[in-house]
Amino acid sequence: MSEHLAKIADRFQLPGRFVSAVRYGSGHINDTYLVELDDAGARKRCILQRVNHAVFRNVDGLMDNIVRVTEHIRHKLSQEQDPDISRHVYSVLPAKGGGWYARTDGDEYWRALTFIEGAHTYDVLETPEQAYQAAKAFGRFQSLLTDLPGERLCETIPSFHDGPTRLRQFHEAVQEDRCNRARFVRKEIEWVREHESILLSLASALRSGLIPERISHNDAKINNVMLDDASGAGVCVVDLDTVMPGTGLFDFGDLVRTCVVDTAEDEPNPALVTADPRRFEALVAGYLASAGAFLTEAEIRHMVVAGKMITMMIGLRFLTDFLRGDVYFRIHRDGHNLDRCRTQFALVDRLNEQHDVLEAIVRKHAALP
Ligand code: GN1
Ligand code: MG
């Protein structure tokens, strides 16, 4: 693999000579490597990533989105005279012949990105302060994109967060039952039927115009924001593949999904899943600190349901993939997608139990009656 990676690295304009590479991060879709480079004796690092082309069919559109978004953010940060721009937004490193990715003879799509030093991501949150910082960083990311000029961003995966579409795909997978696995998940199928209204909630508010369309990250889980090693502050939002038109509520929802728990996304025992209202409160405070200025009251009033909706939708996508034979999300053990699904559904139950407490937290922070 290292030889292959060295060849891939050679296709890009990198700030040094390839030394070595290790697998990096815990993404379920792309293959990510942290590359060590030698720049006349100085050690440098960058990211090389193979884009999953089965998932992202339009790599040109995908890279165009990312370049537009990162350039716009860089432009805004320079207007603000930010002294640390290269750590606050990453850059796409161009291929040698030009262009933002390299396609191999084996039909692999690769890209190179700058690596943010002195910061880390966390798969499971350690303190409420981290929830605050993560939410503030995603809110800030959204606010920087409220005035992105030019055409509407391309939908890198159409209907990505559309509840009715995800429900239909799930029903098709149950009907087809191509791996004869539906018999293992009767309880989950029933649970989905009972909770359908949560899944459909944001879609109808978006369609009716009650909630405005905005550019959102669409994968705002805790491990997609780098927190500063020294100060703990949010430094840079990463994994921009799904930045596209949506609603900021998708991002707030994903923050709830991944920050109010202290279990991993794939915790095998769903009975261990709890939802900590203090962490929820930290998320609300952090998100409103950076996004409060542009959010409408209708958006704010959907924050609690957004947490349930995104958690349910991602659980449903894991279940759909389990039924289809684990063809989408990378798995590391048998039943992995089913564990992931059960943990998400358990969290929706916990959020439902605390519904009134969570709504009161939002109202308090937004000063709403
Ligand atoms: C996938 O690959 P990764 O881990 O960044 C998925 C997200 C899910 C997430 C669940 C393109 O993201 O939608 O929320 O797994 N990305 C895509 O952890 O489907
Ligand atoms: Mg992602």
pLDDT in tens, 318-338: 999 999 999 999 999 999 999
Q: Do the Cβ atoms of 317 and 163 come closer than 8 Å? A: no
Look at residue 123 and tell me if it is in a domain: no
Q: What rounded mean pLDDT belongs to the chain?
A: 97
Q: Which residues in 116-141 are b (16+ Cβ under 10 Å) and which e?
A: beebebbeebeebebbbbbbbbbbbb
Task: Name the residue of 219, 313, 331 whose CB sits within 8 Å of the most ligand 1 atoms, as the mutation to test its pocket.
Answer: 219
Q: Provide CB contacts within 8 A for 15, sequence distance 6+.
A: 37, 39, 44, 46, 93
Task: Name the residue of 24, 50, 239, 329 whose CB sits within 8 Å of the most ligand 1 atoms, as the mutation to test its pocket.
Answer: 329
- Give the count of domains, the chain: 2
pLDDT in tens, 157-180: 999 999 999 999 999 999 999 999
Same domain, 153 and 270: yes
Containing structural domain, residue 110: 2-117
Tokens at 131, concatenated: 């929830």
Q: Which residues in 186-195 are b (16+ Cβ under 10 Å) and which e?
A: eebeebbeeb
pLDDT in tens, 72-120: 999 999 999 999 999 999 999 999 999 999 999 999 999 999 999 999 9
DSSP structure class, residue 224: G
Which of the ligands is closest to the CA of residue 328?
A: 1
Q: Is 124 a residue whose pLDDT tops 90?
A: yes
Give the pLDDT mean for 231-246.
Answer: 98
**Residue 339 C-alpha from the chain's centroid:** 19
Look at residue 93 and tell me if it is in a domain: yes
Same domain, 168 and 244: yes
Q: Do the Cβ atoms of 218 and 154 come closer than 8 Å? A: no
Tell me if residue 155 falls in helix, strand or coil.
Answer: coil
Looking from the CA of residue 241, the nearest atom of ligand 1 is 11
Q: Is the pTM for the entire model greater than 0.75?
A: yes
- CATH assignment of the domain containing 75: 3.30.200.20
Q: Which one of 87, 117, 147 terminates a domain?
A: 117
Same domain, 10 and 139: no
Look at residue 122 and tell me if it is in a domain: no
For residue 1, what pLDDT is reported?
73
Give the pLDDT mean for 134-139.
Answer: 98
For residue 2, what pLDDT is reported?
83
pLDDT in tens, 198-207: 999 999 999 9
